[in-house]
């Protein structure tokens, strides 16, 4: 089993940032949201999710806050910072360029 973080690292960052763009969420909710929005195709492993979250926090793109969750228990909620928002725009743009390019090739073939 390869390290999933190696395979989708850039993409996972983008997905997390995108998920957080609407509201602050905790780790579990982020994983669920990605799974749900991708139509159950993308399963985010906890082993990749938390290191990625911590890395993004270190980068200053997201910030964390302990708040009460929907079950009434304390949970760590992540939200986008201003820097994170512009990072999301950059990553979205670069993803669109990349996937567009890949699409062109795949459809041509």
CB atoms closer than 10 angstroms to residue 64: 16
In whole angstroms, the minimum distance from the beta carbon of 99 to another protein comes to: 27
Q: Should residue 60 be labelled a site residue for another protein when binding is judged by CB under 8 A?
A: yes
Output 13 or 109, the one with its CB closest to another protein.
Answer: 13
Q: Should residue 107 be labelled a site residue for another protein when binding is judged by CB under 8 A?
A: no
Q: Should residue 68 be labelled a site residue for another protein when binding is judged by CB under 8 A?
A: no
User: Is residue 63 within 8 Å of residue 81, measured between CB atoms?
Assistant: yes
Positive or negative, the CA dihedral 6, 10, 11, 17 is positive
Q: Should residue 26 be labelled a site residue for another protein when binding is judged by CB under 8 A?
A: yes
Residue 45 burial (10 A CB sphere; 0-12, 13-18, 19+)? middle
Q: Interface with another protein by CB under 8 A: which residues?
A: 5, 26-28, 31, 45-47, 50-51, 53-55, 57-60, 63, 66, 69, 71, 73-76, 81, 83
């Amino acid at each position: 089993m390869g390290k999933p973080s190696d395979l989708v690292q850039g993409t996972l960052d983008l997905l997390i940032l995108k998920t957080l763009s609407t509201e602050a969420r905790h780790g579990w909710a982020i994983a669920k949201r990605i799974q749900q929005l991708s139509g159950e195709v993308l399963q985010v492993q906890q082993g990749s999710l938390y290191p990625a979250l911590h890395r993004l926090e270190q980068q200053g793109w997201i910030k964390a806050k302990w708040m009460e969750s929907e079950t009434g228990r304390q949970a760590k909620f992540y939200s986008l910072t201003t820097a994170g928002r512009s990072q999301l725009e950059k990553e979205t743009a670069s993803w669109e360029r990349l996937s567009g390019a890949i699409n062109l090739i795949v459809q041509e073939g």
